[in-house]
Copies of this chain bind each other. A is one copy, B any other.
């Protein structure tokens, strides 16, 4: 199945003009042209079927005939993480995170951060490729270069957790409320500073532990994602009043 991403499709429209890298991939790489059938996802939960009705080097037009699959937006499961020095470690975390169902990737500066800047474009490509590969219909969101404070005040999450290896943490599954939009903060290799942990506590974040083992940053990020997925699918801590 050839699936393409329609980033600019108007709701209700039944024609779509492809003139971006997806058209390049469709026409040049996959060698699809006039009358070929393709599938589109719009990143907002629908998978559509269409046929190419015009094709040239620079753009193609697709006539959309029907919606094949439609899904409600999943409960948000966000990872906010301090980027590692080695970019490939971040990239695989994004790829695997998409696969398991993480909906938000947020990269921020921590006091012990090893890297100060991330290229959003490159991560966005990896994201899109992982979304297609795993047949998801929603495009997770990526935010880069936030400050620690900006993460603390981020909207859209009912509960925020900070995972660290210092004292006074609770096991993450004992507190994660699976049916709510959750965000877990993951520190850099040198962990969060005491100052950051205190600031997080003052802002209502719960200090959690991801388990008994020492994890690399990117592994911690992925496992935090998996804990949120599990809490959601197995309906953890949802009856607490």
Copy number of this protein in the oligomer?
2
Asked if residues B171 and A215 are in contact (CB atoms below 8 Å), the reply is no
Taking CB atoms, residues of chain B closer than 8 Å to A213 are 99-101, 134, 136, 229
Asked if residues A219 and B100 are in contact (CB atoms below 8 Å), the reply is yes
Cβ-defined partner of A211 (8 Å) among B214, B215, B229: B229
Rounded to whole angstroms, the CA-CA distance of A6 and B191 in the bound complex is 30
Q: Which residues from 190 to 229 on chain A have a C-beta closer than 8 Å to any C-beta of chain B?
A: 211-216, 219, 222-223, 226-227, 229
Rounded to whole angstroms, the CA-CA distance of A171 and B230 in the bound complex is 10
A126 at the interface (CB under 8 A from B): no
Asked if residues A234 and B173 are in contact (CB atoms below 8 Å), the reply is yes
A96 at the interface (CB under 8 A from B): yes
A135 at the interface (CB under 8 A from B): yes
With A92-B92, A99-B219, A223-B226: A135-B214 Cβ-Cβ less than 8 Å: yes
Asked if residues B134 and A215 are in contact (CB atoms below 8 Å), the reply is yes
A133 at the interface (CB under 8 A from B): yes
Taking CB atoms, residues of chain B closer than 8 Å to A167 are none
A168 at the interface (CB under 8 A from B): no
Asked if residues A211 and B223 are in contact (CB atoms below 8 Å), the reply is no
Taking CB atoms, residues of chain B closer than 8 Å to A135 are 214
Q: Which residues from 64 to 103 on chain A have a C-beta closer than 8 Å to any C-beta of chain B?
A: 92, 96, 99-101
Excluding A171-B234, A227-B230, 4 further A-B contacts by CB distance (< 8 Å) are A92-B92, A99-B214, A134-B213, A173-B230
